[in-house]
Amino acid sequence: MGRQRKRVVTGEAAPPPRIDEKPAAFPRKEKKKKVDIGKVFINISIGLCIFSLIWFFYALYMRSSLSKRVITLHPSHPVLDANSSSAKVSTERFWGSYRPQVYFGMKTRSPRSIITGMMWMRQFSDMDVNLRHTCEQGDRLQGYGWMMHDGITFGVQEIRDNDFTLTTEFVKRMGGGHGGDWTWRITAKQHSSAPQAPVISLMFYAAADTQGSLEAHVEDRSRLASITGFSEELGNFKISFRKPVTGESSSAKYASYNYLQTVSPGLEKLSDIVKQSLNRRFVYSPPSGEKRHYIAVDAYKPPHHQNQQKPADTRKEGAFVLHQVTVQMPFQIEVLFESGSFHSRPNQLVGSVMTQELERRKAEFDSKFEKTFGLESKGYSQAHVKFGKAALSNMLGGMGYFYGQSVVQSVYNEYPLLYPEGALFTAVPSRSFFPRGFLWDEGFHQLLLSKWDPQVTRESIAHWIDLINMEGWIPREQILGDEARSKVPAEFVVQRNENANPPTLFLALQKLIEQLNSNPEKATSQPTLPFLRRLFPRLKTWFEWYNTTQTGPLPNSYRWRGRDKDTNLFLNPKTLTSGLDDYPRASHPSTEERHVDLHCWMALSSGIMASIARLLGEPHQDYELTHHVLSDNDKLNELHWSDQLNAFSDFGNHTQAVSLQQEKVYVPPGQPRHQFPVARLVRSVRRAPKLQFVNALGYVSLFPFLLQILTPDSPKLEHILRDMRDSNKLWTPYGLRSISKSDPMYMKRNTEHDAPYWRGPIWININYLAVRALHHYSNTEGPYQEMAAALYEELRTNIINNVYRQYVETGYIWEQYNDGTGRGQGSHPFTGWSSLTVLMMAEQY
The catalytic residues are: 581, 815
Residue type, 183: T
Provide the 8-state DSSP code for 285. Answer: -
Count of all residues that appear for the chain in the document: 845
In terms of Cα–Cα distance, which of 141, 182, 138 is closest to 160?
Answer: 141
How far from 589 is each of 257, 500, 564, 572, 574, CA to CA, in Å?
62, 16, 8, 9, 10
H-only helix segments in 374-410: 382-397
Q: Answer for the pair 349, 173: CB distance below 8 angstroms, yes or no.
A: yes
- Rounded CA-CA distance 514/284 in Å is 61
Q: How far is CA 712 from the centre of its chain?
A: 35
Paired sense of beta strands 494-496 and 407-409, if any: parallel
Residue 152: partners with Cβ closer than 8 Å, 6 or more residues away: 92, 93, 96, 172, 453
Task: Annotate 257-274 with b (16+ C-beta within 10 A) or e (fewer).
Answer: bbbbbbbbbbbbbbeebb
In terms of Cα–Cα distance, which of 510, 425, 439 is closest to 473?
Answer: 439
- Rounded CA-CA distance 649/641 in Å is 6
Residue 350: partners with Cβ closer than 8 Å, 6 or more residues away: 183, 242, 334, 336
Provide the 8-state DSSP code for 647. Answer: E
- Rounded CA-CA distance 714/633 in Å is 8
- Rounded CA-CA distance 788/721 in Å is 7
Residue type, 755: A
In terms of Cα–Cα distance, which of 635, 748, 733, 644 is closest to 697?
Answer: 644
Residue 641: partners with Cβ closer than 8 Å, 6 or more residues away: 647, 648, 649, 716
Q: Answer for the pair 116, 106: CB distance below 8 angstroms, yes or no.
A: yes
Q: Provide the strand spans (E) within 537-679.
A: 641-642, 647-648, 651-654, 658-662
Task: Annotate 650-687 with b (16+ C-beta within 10 A) or e (fewer).
Answer: bbbbbebebebeebeeeeeeeeeeeeeeeeebbbeeee
Q: If 0-12 CB within 10 Å is exposed, 13-18 middle and 19+ buried, where does residue 747 land?
A: middle
Q: What do you get for the CA distance between the two ends of the chain, in Å?
A: 118
